[in-house]
Chain A
């Protein structure tokens, strides 16, 4: 084993890359002769990773604004997720060359294509679409660089004026850009359907996933190193006081519970309003997702993203203990993936088996790649800022 690496992240990088390679294999075997399927699957994979990076950026901005022990302790993990954005941005670029393969509106108002109002056709024209995408990326690359440069890891629970300023302005820039990017990239897959809360639904999912990943990461960090992080985040360090760790995990667990409830609230609001209205142009979106077997995926999403984590996280014993909380975080992460799959794949009607499997394969590939990158970033951050504690923990614990 390469001794310059922190063992947990090293192992995760390996596993992630393995999953990614498996996904590549699945995609090539299934759909190499069907580029349209591959491109759509690729879109699903990239967008799923992109939302987690953006969720992490939002969490850093919120943490910089509010301060607090939770923000200080989770910051290295959020940063590791956010710092994947340049790669995510690079992965988004190829999609610009495949718009016609992915989005039905590229054939809008042409003979045999879909018909839209003039305003919608203008909004969803490829040049404007690409210009918007470029603008979003420039904003995000600027925001994430700024947040990364002001967020100091060795900091106590407070936050500097610089951090608060960057946090506030970043949120102002992130919320509209991410919302519109969600409209452009995902909602426009079914261009006749619209929901103004759709961007918030996707964003909340990304925030939940980024936070769950931070909780999972902190739980899997070797105990001595975790101790160093918790101590750095505490107002005063009490030697051998395990209550501090329990209290911090309680806070992180409560936050996970709160984010899950917000996400559920957004998702259910959208469903309830459309279900109540029952208008053909709106309800069709849910009909595609609650019929033909998709209802089981929907039930799975409800179970993994709400019912299970909600009831498990009600217990204080779970929240204050590290491994049950890691299990809940893992459940939520799987639920996030399933939710993305359930949200995006039914848009590609009719959905055949190749499409189903290639989409799962692409999520595995890009998720694996993203996760490896995230683990690498995390290892780098922890080595730089908590290197002493890593040296002491090496050889004592291998997770």
Chain B
């Protein structure tokens, strides 16, 4: 193929999940970093093999929750104390016990929204197209095949040696991914 000089990377296909985990671990140990594994279901041990860093999602959700909490309180405080002070049954203007339900709801809402939006942002979504969609064999990733793709941008990437390396790992097939 004449496209080989300008491809996205090399895609290796595996039949068994254990093969994928083992191959992925070997790829990581060899020093590759710019690669990604794909499977039709959660595979135990795969995230560790890919070398996933610790997720920053909990921090994002926590910040979302704190912002929601402050928003809920600030909004009610501003309304009842500053913008439109109203004497209700002789209670103090800053009657915080009655603020609590709204503060709680907004905390949950903001935390949940930041979880959804943070998940999308960190996964690089939405993403209408990906070069892997150009590989016909890749369709089976949602059914019964397991893949790992090493990108050309990886400093260790070499057309010939990487291809041979993947073949030695027991790949059923090593496929060029067109850009």
A residues adjacent to B (C-beta < 8 A): 268, 271-272, 275-276, 278, 314, 316
Contact = CB atoms under 8 A, between A and B. Distances in A.
14 contacts: A268-B100, A271-B97, A272-B97, A272-B98, A272-B100, A272-B101, A275-B97, A275-B98, A276-B97, A276-B98, A278-B89, A278-B91, A314-B62, A316-B58
A256 to B, nearest CB: 18
Contacts of A275: 97-98
A217 to B, nearest CB: 29
A292 to B, nearest CB: 20
Contacts of B100: 268, 272
Contacts of A314: 62
A23 B132 CA distance: 73
A276 B58 CA distance: 35
Nearest to B62: A314
Contacts of B91: 278
For the residues of B in contact with A, the DSSP-based class is: helix
Interface in B70-116: 89, 91, 97-98, 100-101
Closest 3 A/B residue pairs (Cβ): A275-B97, A272-B97, A278-B89
Nearest to A265: B104
A82 to B, nearest CB: 33
Interface in B42-76: 58, 62
Interface of B: 58, 62, 89, 91, 97-98, 100-101
A278 B92 CA distance: 13
Contacts of A278: 89, 91
Contacts of B89: 278
A278 B88 CA distance: 11
A148 to B, nearest CB: 37
B65 to A, nearest CB: 9
A314 B91 CA distance: 34
Contacts of A271: 97
Given A272-B97, A278-B91, 12 more contacts: A268-B100, A271-B97, A272-B98, A272-B100, A272-B101, A275-B97, A275-B98, A276-B97, A276-B98, A278-B89, A314-B62, A316-B58
Nearest to B58: A316
Nearest to B89: A278
A314 B62 CA distance: 9
Nearest to B61: A314
A148 B100 CA distance: 41
A275 B91 CA distance: 10
A245 B69 CA distance: 34
A268 B101 CA distance: 10
A316 B61 CA distance: 13
A268 B100 CA distance: 9
Nearest to B91: A278
A44 to B, nearest CB: 27
B97 to A, nearest CB: 5
A271 B97 CA distance: 9
Contacts of B97: 271-272, 275-276
B13 to A, nearest CB: 29
Nearest to A316: B58
A272 B95 CA distance: 11
Nearest to A272: B97
Nearest to A276: B98
Contacts of B62: 314
A283 B107 CA distance: 29
A272 B104 CA distance: 14
A19 to B, nearest CB: 36
Contacts of B98: 272, 275-276
Highest count of chain B CB atoms <10 Å: which of A271, A276, A316? A276
A382 B91 CA distance: 56
B47 to A, nearest CB: 13
A279 to B, nearest CB: 11
A272 B101 CA distance: 9
Nearest to A278: B89
A271 B98 CA distance: 10
Contacts of A316: 58
A275 B98 CA distance: 9
A262 to B, nearest CB: 13
Contacts of A276: 97-98
A264 to B, nearest CB: 10
B100 to A, nearest CB: 7
Contacts of A268: 100
A129 to B, nearest CB: 34
Nearest to B44: A243
